[in-house]
């Protein structure tokens, strides 16, 4: 039984890839909602091709994802400071535990941090956090504050991922892919105070094609019924 559909994207989106891929035109806003959960998946996302995908690159692929983003509207870069207590400070950052970031510096990063390395947030407060090399891992030991201006870039939290799909398989009227979004009691947790988007990660420039993505917001499986409460759609 499916309670409600939300269409996150339809036709007409630009299909030019970036290092971060591109996001659906619409999103779900979870606010501070809560969930009643009795088993199974929270929701299922259905991707369909409305125009067949095409690329001039041989063997090009596409990943179809459902992701959660902090409420800044786009992938962004922020400045930060670090202390030898392992605490990183970014004023009113809006991140949650588990958010993935990378760091860089105009001069020298704080000792213990390295550029082009994935870090995951832990011990999050309104203005501060620590980082680990793995989700829920030990905090990185920061031994000096570095020099110059330091920046961090955050990336979407991936809730569901299709894996690589050959673009030549994504044909209008023939292609449909469904991916389950886990319930909040398992990892990765369905995050509150986040925007939920469909995300597309092509391996090469797309010269044609559009996709739709619908989220079945209430879903039952094996006798379990899940009912989301307290979100809006934008």
- Cα 59 versus chain centre, distance: 25
151 pLDDT tier (thresholds 50, 70, 90) = very high
Q: Are 5 and 207 a contacting pair, CB within 8 Å?
A: no
Residues 111 and 57 in one domain: no
Query: What percentage of residues in the chain have a pLDDT greater than 90?
Result: 31
Residues 185 and 88 in one domain: no
Residues 61 and 165 in one domain: yes
- Cα 218 versus chain centre, distance: 20
CATH code of residue 121: 2.40.30
pLDDT: which is higher, 198 or 231: 198
Residues 89 and 197 in one domain: no
Sorted by sequence, the CB contacts under 8 Å of residue 125 that are 6+ apart come out as none
Residues 22 and 37 in one domain: yes
> Total domain count for the chain?
2
The pLDDT of residue 35 is above 70: no
Residues 119 and 173 in one domain: no
**Mean pLDDT of all residues in the chain?**
77
Residues 24 and 67 in one domain: yes
Q: Are 113 and 101 a contacting pair, CB within 8 Å?
A: no
Res 89: pLDDT: 96
Domain limit, last residue, from 155, 179, 202: 155
Domain limit, last residue, from 89, 120, 155: 155
Residues 94 and 125 in one domain: yes
Residues 82 and 62 in one domain: no
Res 33: pLDDT: 46
Residues 93 and 26 in one domain: no
Residues 81 and 149 in one domain: yes
Res 204: pLDDT: 84
Domain limit, last residue, from 123, 155, 187: 155
In which domain, by residue range, is 134 found? 77-155
* 46 Rama class: left (phi>0) / alpha (psi -120 to 50) / beta: beta
Residues 109 and 224 in one domain: no
Lowest mean per-residue pLDDT among 11-15, 73-77, 123-127, 165-169: 11-15
9 pLDDT tier (thresholds 50, 70, 90) = confident
CATH code of residue 23: 2.60.120.1110
What is the pTM (predicted TM-score) of this model? 0.64
Res 75: pLDDT: 58
The pLDDT of residue 218 is above 80: no
Distance (Å, whole) CA 154 – CA 174: 35
């Amino acid at each position: 039984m499916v309670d409600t559909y939300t269409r996150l994207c339809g036709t007409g989106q630009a299909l030019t890839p970036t290092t971060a891929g591109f996001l659906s035109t619409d999103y779900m806003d979870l606010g501070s909602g809560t969930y009643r959960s009795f088993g199974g998946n929270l929701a299922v996302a259905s991707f369909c091709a409305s125009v067949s995908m095409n690329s001039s690159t041989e063997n090009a692929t596409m990943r179809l994802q459902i992701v959660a983003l902090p409420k800044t509207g786009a992938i962004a870069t922020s400045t930060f400071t670090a202390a030898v207590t392992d605490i990183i400070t970014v004023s009113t950052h809006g991140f949650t535990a588990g958010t993935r970031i990378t760091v860089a510096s105009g001069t020298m990063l704080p000792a213990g941090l390295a550029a082009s390395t994935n870090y995951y947030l832990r011990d999050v407060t309104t203005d501060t956090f620590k980082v680990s090399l793995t989700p829920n891992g030990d905090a990185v030991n920061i031994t000096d504050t570095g020099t110059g201006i330091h920046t961090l870039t955050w990336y979407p939290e991936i809730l569901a991922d299709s894996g690589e799909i050959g673009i030549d398989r994504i044909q209008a009227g023939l292609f449909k892919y469904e991916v389950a979004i886990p319930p909040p009691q398992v990892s990765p947790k369905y995050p509150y105070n986040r925007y939920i988007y469909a995300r597309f990660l092509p391996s090469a420039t797309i010269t044609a094609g559009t996709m739709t993505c619908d989220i079945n917001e209430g879903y039952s499986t094996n006798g379990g019924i899940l009912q989301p409460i307290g979100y809006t759609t934008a």
